[in-house]
Amino acid sequence: MSDLLDQVLSRRIVPVVVVRNAARAAGLADALVAGDLPVAEVTLRTEAAPEAIATMAKNPDLLVGAGTVLTPDQVDLAVDAGARFLVSPGFSAAAVARANERGVPIVPGTVTPSEVIAALDAGLTTLKFFPAANYGGAGTLKAFSSVFSGARFVPTGGVSANNLGDYLTLPNVPAVGGSWMVPAGTVDAGDFAEVQRLCAEAVAAAAAIG
């Protein structure tokens, strides 16, 4: 499962996608791939999300996951729809256990040392740091690096093109999560040429940071 997560994080950016109309899912999947960002965390915040995941999972060049996974039932919902990885805004032992049963990697949210320790105790080493901007941002993650050498973090929440370098220069941050390259309004409008452009721009910016 760690190999799959490495693939998810390989472009150093994970698009956090809100799909309100499942009819837009196929076009969105194509735009992500064309923009050299072939991964999507589709949040379970809308009724359209399960169908969108199922549609996007049909694209063989895209790694589709589900975000905002809070419960074991949502683990099943997402995996049954075709999600290959899961992301949660917090740490739920029950959700982690169910994900392990289903054989799908889960990245739980952590913002305190106690939450990080709980996740490490559960055998997880790739963790979400959310909401990053509200919990000290890059400064907190820099402090974490000295005490949690076995953990790597994907900061999400308040991450943008303007502060990308603050995070990606940290040794314990393999990638960030964000939505600036997949604006909900642009997806709603079906402007996939713009999504493709924003994705390509984001990937180039991340690569330039080194």
> What are the b/e assignments for 110-145, b being 16+ CB within 10 Å?
bbeeebbebbeeeebebbbbbbbeebebbebbbebb
Neighbours of 30 (CB within 10 A): 17
Q: Is 128 designated active site?
A: yes
Which residue among 115, 128, 142, 201 is the active-site one?
128
Q: Give just the sign of the alpha carbon dihedral 189, 19, 63, 145.
A: positive
41 carries an active-site annotation: yes
The encoded tokens of residue 17 equal 């996608």
End-to-end Cα separation, the chain, in angstroms: 25
d(CA 179, CA 190): 16
Among candidate residues 41, 51, 101, 115, the one labeled active-site is 41
Residues assigned a catalytic role: 41, 128
